[in-house]
Structure 1
Amino acid sequence: MKTEDLNQALVALIEKKAELHTLTYDDARYDEVEEALHDLEDDFNDEYGDYLEEALDKVHGDLKSDTDVLLPTAYLPSDPRSAPSPKEGVWVDSEKYPGKEARITLIPNPVRIMLTVGKQVQQELWKA
């Protein structure tokens, strides 16, 4: 697997998602951009889904989480150029952080899975 190709695909997907979020439903381009985003998500999951789901499954296991592993596209941040905020990514229940809001995010540059727990903890859990 070429991690550079994975990174480029991830950045393109996040940028398209960000573009869609800038549009209102009545924007003439909304349906077109939404369809393009869905196509990118499908292609991304087809190409990299098994690889990333395996990594996400390991991360969930390491965190001792009973939370289901979702498709990799569920874990995306809103911006490919910044660290994920405490509200981005997928919420996970973790025995390592009981009573805390823990989230896992798949981020690019380089491709990695980050754990965010409130504003105090931001930890790299896996790197492609």
Structure 2
Amino acid sequence: MNTKAIDKAILEIIEKRSELNKIDYNDERYDDVEDELHELEDDFIDEHGEVMEEILGDVHDELCPDSDVLSPISYIADSYIKTGENENGPELDVTYNQGVYVEIDDYLHKETKLVIIPNPLRILLNIDRNTREIIWNNNPVA
């Protein structure tokens, strides 16, 4: 698995979503930027969809088997917070309300959400305003 390529593709989607969010629907560039975003999302699915669906499927099987696995694009947050920079680009984080809602028995009274965060690539479980867990990353345990 080429996590740098996956990170790069997700970062491009994030940048294009940010660009789209900054312009008004009536802006003459809106349709072009939206088309570019959809092309990036389609390319991501073509190039990395299978491996990401497998990872997400494993996460769902382990944590939330009653919740359907959605397209990997769904797990990319609507907005990210830049927390720093590394050799591969911006380091990002998300707020607690980002991600795809999943039902987890251990957190029945919480609105738990899964979200993909790039650079380094990981899947985060947002449990509440103060609690989160990294559910998956590409760092093998020694």
TM-score, structure 2 length as denominator?
0.85
Q: Percent identity?
A: 41
- Name the SS of the counterpart of 1:48 in structure 2: helix
Aligned to 1:98: 108
Name the structure with the higher strand share.
2
State the 1:17 CA deviation: 1.0
CA distance in 1, matches of 2:18, 2:59: 26
TM-score (norm 1): 0.94
Q: In the alignment, is residue 16 of structure 1 matched against residue 16 of structure 2?
A: yes
Query: Per-residue displacement from partner, 1:69-92 (whole Å, max 9, x unpaired)?
Result: 011111112126332112211011
User: Conserved in 2, the CA contact under 8 Å of 1:57 and 1:69?
Assistant: yes
CA shift digits 1:1-57 (9 cap, x unpaired) = 321111111111111111111111101110000000000000001111110111111
Partner-residue secondary structure (3-state), 1:85: coil
Structure 1 alignment gaps of length 5 or more: none
Cα distance in 1 between the residues matched to 2:64 and 2:41: 28
Which residue in 1 is equivalent to 2:43?
43
Bigger Rg over Cα: 2
Gaps (5+ residues) in structure 2? Answer: 83-91
Q: 1:111 aligns with which of 113, 118, 121?
A: 121
- 2:132 is aligned, of 115, 122, 128, to 122
Partner of 1:63: 63
